[in-house]
Structure 1
Protein backbone atom coordinates (compact mmCIF):
# COMPACT_ATOMS: atom_id res chain seq x y z
CA UNK A 1 0.00 0.00 0.00
CA UNK A 2 1.38 3.44 -0.92
CA UNK A 3 1.26 6.57 1.21
CA UNK A 4 -1.37 9.11 0.17
CA UNK A 5 -0.16 12.21 -1.63
CA UNK A 6 -0.42 15.65 -0.06
CA UNK A 7 -3.24 16.46 -2.50
CA UNK A 8 -5.18 13.37 -1.39
CA UNK A 9 -4.78 14.28 2.29
CA UNK A 10 -5.85 17.89 1.65
CA UNK A 11 -8.84 16.66 -0.38
CA UNK A 12 -9.88 14.31 2.46
CA UNK A 13 -9.58 17.13 5.01
CA UNK A 14 -11.68 19.45 2.84
CA UNK A 15 -14.31 16.76 2.34
CA UNK A 16 -14.43 16.19 6.09
CA UNK A 17 -14.93 19.91 6.72
CA UNK A 18 -17.68 20.02 4.11
CA UNK A 19 -19.39 17.01 5.68
CA UNK A 20 -19.35 18.71 9.06
CA UNK A 21 -20.74 21.89 7.53
CA UNK A 22 -23.51 20.05 5.71
CA UNK A 23 -24.40 18.09 8.82
CA UNK A 24 -25.08 21.38 10.57
CA UNK A 25 -27.40 22.54 7.78
CA UNK A 26 -31.13 22.24 8.01
CA UNK A 27 -33.06 20.81 5.11
CA UNK A 28 -36.01 23.14 5.82
CA UNK A 29 -36.35 26.32 3.75
CA UNK A 30 -34.62 29.41 5.13
CA UNK A 31 -36.74 31.48 7.51
CA UNK A 32 -39.37 33.51 5.67
CA UNK A 33 -38.94 31.84 2.28
CA UNK A 34 -41.36 29.51 0.56
CA UNK A 35 -40.43 27.06 -2.20
CA UNK A 36 -42.35 27.42 -5.45
CA UNK A 37 -45.56 25.49 -5.98
CA UNK A 38 -46.35 23.88 -9.32
CA UNK A 39 -42.75 22.68 -9.63
CA UNK A 40 -42.11 20.24 -12.49
CA UNK A 41 -38.97 18.15 -11.97
CA UNK A 42 -39.01 17.03 -15.61
CA UNK A 43 -38.84 20.66 -16.77
CA UNK A 44 -36.18 21.47 -14.17
CA UNK A 45 -33.94 18.56 -15.19
CA UNK A 46 -30.96 19.29 -17.40
CA UNK A 47 -28.05 21.70 -17.26
CA UNK A 48 -28.10 24.96 -15.34
CA UNK A 49 -25.38 27.62 -15.36
CA UNK A 50 -24.52 29.29 -12.09
CA UNK A 51 -24.84 33.02 -12.72
CA UNK A 52 -24.27 34.35 -9.20
CA UNK A 53 -24.09 33.05 -5.63
CA UNK A 54 -23.40 33.92 -2.06
CA UNK A 55 -19.86 32.98 -1.17
CA UNK A 56 -19.37 29.43 0.03
CA UNK A 57 -16.18 27.51 0.62
CA UNK A 58 -16.93 24.58 -1.68
CA UNK A 59 -17.17 26.79 -4.79
CA UNK A 60 -14.60 29.43 -3.87
CA UNK A 61 -12.31 30.26 -6.80
CA UNK A 62 -14.31 28.29 -9.36
CA UNK A 63 -15.66 29.60 -12.64
CA UNK A 64 -17.74 28.09 -15.45
CA UNK A 65 -19.88 26.37 -12.83
CA UNK A 66 -22.74 24.17 -13.99
CA UNK A 67 -25.19 21.85 -12.32
CA UNK A 68 -26.82 18.99 -14.14
CA UNK A 69 -29.95 17.36 -12.72
CA UNK A 70 -31.07 13.97 -14.00
CA UNK A 71 -34.27 12.28 -12.85
CA UNK A 72 -33.82 8.72 -11.62
CA UNK A 73 -36.29 5.81 -11.76
CA UNK A 74 -36.63 5.78 -7.94
CA UNK A 75 -37.86 9.40 -7.90
CA UNK A 76 -34.55 10.86 -6.77
CA UNK A 77 -32.43 13.29 -8.78
CA UNK A 78 -28.81 12.71 -9.76
CA UNK A 79 -26.79 15.92 -9.22
CA UNK A 80 -23.53 16.70 -10.99
CA UNK A 81 -21.89 20.00 -10.05
CA UNK A 82 -18.87 21.00 -12.09
CA UNK A 83 -16.55 24.02 -12.01
CA UNK A 84 -13.20 25.08 -13.35
CA UNK A 85 -10.36 26.20 -11.06
CA UNK A 86 -8.16 28.51 -13.18
CA UNK A 87 -5.41 28.67 -10.53
CA UNK A 88 -4.88 24.92 -10.74
CA UNK A 89 -6.00 24.58 -14.35
CA UNK A 90 -8.34 21.76 -13.42
CA UNK A 91 -12.00 20.83 -13.37
CA UNK A 92 -13.66 19.85 -10.11
CA UNK A 93 -16.81 17.78 -9.99
CA UNK A 94 -19.05 16.78 -7.12
CA UNK A 95 -21.68 14.10 -7.67
CA UNK A 96 -24.67 13.87 -5.40
CA UNK A 97 -28.26 12.83 -4.98
CA UNK A 98 -31.36 14.89 -4.27
CA UNK A 99 -34.77 13.84 -3.03
CA UNK A 100 -37.98 15.73 -2.52
CA UNK A 101 -38.74 16.81 1.04
CA UNK A 102 -42.45 16.30 0.42
CA UNK A 103 -44.75 16.68 -2.55
CA UNK A 104 -43.05 16.54 -5.94
CA UNK A 105 -44.83 19.68 -7.15
CA UNK A 106 -43.13 21.83 -4.49
CA UNK A 107 -39.57 22.98 -5.26
CA UNK A 108 -38.16 21.80 -1.95
CA UNK A 109 -35.46 19.16 -2.01
CA UNK A 110 -32.61 17.94 0.11
CA UNK A 111 -29.26 17.21 -1.49
CA UNK A 112 -26.43 14.96 -0.37
CA UNK A 113 -22.93 14.72 -1.72
CA UNK A 114 -21.71 12.63 1.22
CA UNK A 115 -23.80 9.70 2.36
CA UNK A 116 -26.37 10.42 5.02
CA UNK A 117 -25.72 14.18 5.26
CA UNK A 118 -28.34 16.31 3.49
CA UNK A 119 -28.70 20.05 2.98
CA UNK A 120 -31.74 21.99 1.85
CA UNK A 121 -32.16 23.02 -1.80
CA UNK A 122 -35.21 25.24 -2.26
CA UNK A 123 -36.31 26.80 -5.52
CA UNK A 124 -37.81 30.06 -4.24
CA UNK A 125 -38.44 31.72 -7.61
CA UNK A 126 -38.67 30.22 -11.08
CA UNK A 127 -39.32 31.56 -14.56
CA UNK A 128 -42.52 30.17 -16.09
CA UNK A 129 -40.42 28.75 -18.94
CA UNK A 130 -37.74 27.39 -16.56
CA UNK A 131 -35.11 29.70 -18.06
CA UNK A 132 -33.89 30.92 -14.64
CA UNK A 133 -34.24 29.94 -10.98
CA UNK A 134 -33.41 31.39 -7.59
CA UNK A 135 -32.32 28.73 -5.12
CA UNK A 136 -31.81 29.13 -1.37
CA UNK A 137 -30.60 26.97 1.48
CA UNK A 138 -29.47 27.04 5.08
CA UNK A 139 -31.45 28.00 8.15
CA UNK A 140 -30.49 31.67 7.89
CA UNK A 141 -30.11 31.87 4.12
CA UNK A 142 -26.43 30.95 4.09
CA UNK A 143 -26.70 29.66 0.53
CA UNK A 144 -28.19 31.42 -2.47
CA UNK A 145 -27.78 30.93 -6.20
CA UNK A 146 -29.04 32.55 -9.38
CA UNK A 147 -29.18 29.83 -12.04
CA UNK A 148 -30.03 30.04 -15.73
CA UNK A 149 -30.18 27.80 -18.77
CA UNK A 150 -27.64 30.02 -20.56
CA UNK A 151 -24.32 31.29 -19.17
CA UNK A 152 -25.34 34.94 -19.58
CA UNK A 153 -28.62 36.62 -18.63
CA UNK A 154 -30.16 39.45 -20.67
CA UNK A 155 -29.76 42.76 -18.80
CA UNK A 156 -33.50 43.25 -18.22
CA UNK A 157 -33.80 39.76 -16.67
CA UNK A 158 -30.73 40.37 -14.53
CA UNK A 159 -32.26 43.61 -13.18
CA UNK A 160 -35.53 41.83 -12.33
CA UNK A 161 -33.71 38.98 -10.62
CA UNK A 162 -31.63 41.38 -8.55
CA UNK A 163 -34.83 43.10 -7.40
CA UNK A 164 -36.34 39.71 -6.55
CA UNK A 165 -33.13 38.68 -4.77
CA UNK A 166 -33.32 41.79 -2.59
CA UNK A 167 -37.02 41.17 -1.83
CA UNK A 168 -36.06 37.67 -0.61
CA UNK A 169 -33.63 39.16 1.91
CA UNK A 170 -30.36 38.70 0.03
CA UNK A 171 -28.14 41.75 -0.36
CA UNK A 172 -27.26 41.87 -4.09
CA UNK A 173 -23.91 43.48 -3.16
CA UNK A 174 -22.88 40.18 -1.52
CA UNK A 175 -23.36 38.16 -4.70
CA UNK A 176 -20.37 36.72 -6.49
CA UNK A 177 -20.84 36.80 -10.26
CA UNK A 178 -19.56 33.66 -11.92
CA UNK A 179 -17.34 34.02 -14.95
CA UNK A 180 -18.08 31.56 -17.73
CA UNK A 181 -15.27 30.86 -20.15
CA UNK A 182 -16.16 31.12 -23.80
CA UNK A 183 -14.29 27.89 -24.48
CA UNK A 184 -13.62 26.09 -21.21
CA UNK A 185 -10.75 23.60 -21.23
CA UNK A 186 -11.71 19.94 -21.64
Structure 2
Protein backbone atom coordinates (compact mmCIF):
# COMPACT_ATOMS: atom_id res chain seq x y z
CA UNK A 1 0.00 0.00 0.00
CA UNK A 2 2.85 2.37 0.87
CA UNK A 3 4.50 1.68 -2.48
CA UNK A 4 1.25 2.36 -4.34
CA UNK A 5 0.73 5.64 -2.46
CA UNK A 6 4.28 6.72 -3.23
CA UNK A 7 3.82 5.84 -6.90
CA UNK A 8 0.60 7.89 -7.12
CA UNK A 9 2.32 10.80 -5.38
CA UNK A 10 5.27 10.63 -7.80
CA UNK A 11 2.97 10.53 -10.85
CA UNK A 12 0.92 13.48 -9.56
CA UNK A 13 4.06 15.48 -8.83
CA UNK A 14 5.60 14.68 -12.21
CA UNK A 15 2.48 15.63 -14.17
CA UNK A 16 1.36 18.64 -12.13
CA UNK A 17 3.25 21.03 -14.40
CA UNK A 18 2.02 19.57 -17.69
CA UNK A 19 0.20 22.16 -19.74
CA UNK A 20 1.67 24.99 -17.70
CA UNK A 21 3.71 27.50 -19.64
CA UNK A 22 7.37 27.51 -18.66
CA UNK A 23 8.85 30.99 -18.55
CA UNK A 24 12.48 31.83 -18.24
CA UNK A 25 13.66 34.31 -15.66
CA UNK A 26 13.03 37.88 -16.79
CA UNK A 27 16.38 39.55 -17.50
CA UNK A 28 16.81 43.22 -16.69
CA UNK A 29 19.33 45.63 -18.16
CA UNK A 30 22.86 45.48 -16.76
CA UNK A 31 22.84 48.91 -15.12
CA UNK A 32 20.65 52.01 -14.83
CA UNK A 33 22.08 55.45 -14.04
CA UNK A 34 19.14 56.73 -12.01
CA UNK A 35 20.07 60.39 -12.51
CA UNK A 36 19.81 59.91 -16.29
CA UNK A 37 16.58 57.96 -15.90
CA UNK A 38 14.81 60.73 -13.96
CA UNK A 39 12.51 63.12 -15.81
CA UNK A 40 9.38 62.76 -17.91
CA UNK A 41 8.54 59.72 -20.02
CA UNK A 42 5.62 59.30 -22.44
CA UNK A 43 3.79 55.99 -22.48
CA UNK A 44 3.91 54.67 -26.05
CA UNK A 45 2.32 51.26 -25.48
CA UNK A 46 1.42 48.85 -22.71
CA UNK A 47 -0.41 45.76 -21.60
CA UNK A 48 -3.79 47.24 -20.67
CA UNK A 49 -4.26 47.76 -16.94
CA UNK A 50 -7.39 48.64 -15.01
CA UNK A 51 -5.94 51.78 -13.42
CA UNK A 52 -5.22 53.34 -16.85
CA UNK A 53 -8.55 52.42 -18.46
CA UNK A 54 -9.85 55.26 -20.65
CA UNK A 55 -6.72 57.40 -20.24
CA UNK A 56 -4.77 59.00 -23.10
CA UNK A 57 -1.71 61.23 -23.14
CA UNK A 58 -0.18 59.24 -20.29
CA UNK A 59 3.15 60.37 -18.83
CA UNK A 60 5.31 59.29 -15.93
CA UNK A 61 7.63 61.81 -14.28
CA UNK A 62 10.35 60.66 -11.89
CA UNK A 63 12.33 62.85 -9.50
CA UNK A 64 14.60 62.15 -6.56
CA UNK A 65 13.19 62.61 -3.06
CA UNK A 66 15.24 63.78 -0.07
CA UNK A 67 15.11 60.27 1.43
CA UNK A 68 16.73 58.77 -1.69
CA UNK A 69 13.52 57.22 -2.99
CA UNK A 70 11.98 58.30 -6.28
CA UNK A 71 8.86 60.44 -6.52
CA UNK A 72 6.52 59.07 -9.21
CA UNK A 73 3.92 61.33 -10.83
CA UNK A 74 1.70 59.60 -13.37
CA UNK A 75 -0.65 61.78 -15.42
CA UNK A 76 -3.13 61.35 -18.22
CA UNK A 77 -6.35 62.69 -19.70
CA UNK A 78 -9.72 60.97 -19.45
CA UNK A 79 -11.17 60.00 -22.81
CA UNK A 80 -9.37 62.51 -25.04
CA UNK A 81 -6.42 64.90 -25.04
CA UNK A 82 -8.82 67.66 -23.94
CA UNK A 83 -10.37 65.49 -21.22
CA UNK A 84 -10.18 65.89 -17.47
CA UNK A 85 -6.77 65.47 -15.84
CA UNK A 86 -6.06 62.24 -14.00
CA UNK A 87 -3.02 62.10 -11.70
CA UNK A 88 -1.48 59.56 -9.37
CA UNK A 89 1.41 60.21 -7.00
CA UNK A 90 3.57 57.42 -5.67
CA UNK A 91 7.09 56.42 -4.78
CA UNK A 92 9.63 53.95 -6.04
CA UNK A 93 12.74 52.44 -4.53
CA UNK A 94 15.58 50.31 -5.87
CA UNK A 95 15.59 46.68 -4.73
CA UNK A 96 18.73 45.66 -6.66
CA UNK A 97 21.37 48.25 -5.83
CA UNK A 98 24.00 46.49 -7.96
CA UNK A 99 22.13 47.24 -11.21
CA UNK A 100 19.40 49.77 -10.23
CA UNK A 101 17.23 47.93 -12.79
CA UNK A 102 14.80 46.31 -10.34
CA UNK A 103 12.52 48.64 -8.41
CA UNK A 104 9.31 48.53 -6.44
CA UNK A 105 6.60 51.14 -7.04
CA UNK A 106 3.89 52.04 -4.55
CA UNK A 107 0.89 54.31 -5.01
CA UNK A 108 -0.90 53.37 -1.81
CA UNK A 109 0.25 51.43 1.22
CA UNK A 110 0.63 48.49 1.70
CA UNK A 111 0.51 47.49 -1.98
CA UNK A 112 3.54 47.72 -4.26
CA UNK A 113 4.43 46.35 -7.66
CA UNK A 114 7.53 45.33 -9.55
CA UNK A 115 9.08 47.85 -11.93
CA UNK A 116 11.82 46.04 -13.78
CA UNK A 117 13.72 47.84 -16.52
CA UNK A 118 14.17 45.17 -19.20
CA UNK A 119 15.18 47.47 -22.05
CA UNK A 120 16.86 50.87 -22.09
CA UNK A 121 18.19 53.02 -24.91
CA UNK A 122 21.89 53.90 -24.76
CA UNK A 123 20.87 57.58 -24.65
CA UNK A 124 18.06 56.91 -22.14
CA UNK A 125 15.56 57.80 -24.84
CA UNK A 126 13.38 54.69 -24.42
CA UNK A 127 12.67 52.20 -21.66
CA UNK A 128 10.83 48.89 -21.54
CA UNK A 129 9.29 48.13 -18.16
CA UNK A 130 8.09 44.69 -17.13
CA UNK A 131 7.64 42.40 -14.18
CA UNK A 132 8.66 38.78 -13.55
CA UNK A 133 5.11 37.44 -14.03
CA UNK A 134 4.95 39.11 -17.46
CA UNK A 135 1.47 40.41 -16.62
CA UNK A 136 2.60 44.04 -16.90
CA UNK A 137 4.48 45.84 -19.65
CA UNK A 138 5.11 49.43 -20.66
CA UNK A 139 7.08 51.05 -23.47
CA UNK A 140 8.22 54.55 -22.49
CA UNK A 141 9.84 57.24 -24.61
CA UNK A 142 11.13 60.75 -24.01
CA UNK A 143 8.84 62.18 -26.71
CA UNK A 144 5.11 61.64 -27.36
CA UNK A 145 5.72 59.86 -30.69
CA UNK A 146 8.13 57.04 -31.46
CA UNK A 147 9.56 56.18 -34.87
CA UNK A 148 7.91 53.00 -36.21
CA UNK A 149 11.28 51.35 -36.94
CA UNK A 150 12.35 51.78 -33.30
CA UNK A 151 8.94 50.58 -32.10
CA UNK A 152 9.31 47.42 -34.23
CA UNK A 153 12.78 46.81 -32.80
CA UNK A 154 11.42 47.15 -29.26
CA UNK A 155 8.64 44.67 -30.03
CA UNK A 156 11.31 42.14 -31.04
CA UNK A 157 13.09 42.70 -27.70
CA UNK A 158 9.81 42.32 -25.84
CA UNK A 159 8.98 39.09 -27.64
CA UNK A 160 12.46 37.75 -26.81
CA UNK A 161 11.62 38.36 -23.13
CA UNK A 162 8.64 36.02 -23.46
CA UNK A 163 5.83 38.56 -23.72
CA UNK A 164 2.75 38.00 -25.90
CA UNK A 165 2.78 40.81 -28.47
CA UNK A 166 -0.94 40.40 -29.19
CA UNK A 167 -1.73 41.91 -25.76
CA UNK A 168 0.11 45.18 -26.42
CA UNK A 169 -2.01 48.28 -26.88
CA UNK A 170 -0.67 51.61 -28.16
CA UNK A 171 -1.34 54.69 -26.05
CA UNK A 172 -2.90 57.75 -27.71
CA UNK A 173 -0.52 60.70 -27.23
CA UNK A 174 -1.94 63.32 -29.63
Unaligned runs of 5+ in 1: 1-29, 182-186
Residue equivalent to 2:60: 67
Shift of 1:31: 5.6
1:54 corresponds to 2:81 = no
TM-score by length of 2: 0.81
Residue equivalent to 1:93: 87
Measured against aligned partners, the alpha-carbon deviations of 1:56-89 in whole angstroms (never above 9, x if no partner) come to 1001111100000001122100000011112793
3-state SS, counterpart of residue 81 of structure 1: strand
Cα distance in structure 2, aligned partners of 1:159 and 1:97: 31
User: 1:62–1:83: 8 Å Cα contact kept in structure 2?
Assistant: yes
Q: How many residues align?
A: 151
Runs of 4+ deviating beyond 3 Å? none
TM-score by length of 1: 0.76
Greater shift after overlay, 64-73 or 81-90? 81-90
Residue equivalent to 2:26: 33
User: 2:34–2:100: 8 Å Cα contact kept in structure 1?
Assistant: no
RMSD: 1.7
- Find 1:173's aligned residue among 166, 169, 173: 166
| CA radius of gyration, larger in | 2
3-state SS, counterpart of residue 58 of structure 1: helix
Cα distance in structure 2, aligned partners of 1:73 and 1:89: 33
Residue equivalent to 1:123: 117
Cα distance in structure 2, aligned partners of 1:104 and 1:66: 27
Cα distance in structure 2, aligned partners of 1:89 and 1:162: 30
3-state SS, counterpart of residue 144 of structure 2: coil
Cα distance in structure 2, aligned partners of 1:152 and 1:165: 19
Cα distance in structure 1, aligned partners of 2:94 and 2:139: 20
Shift of 1:102: 2.6
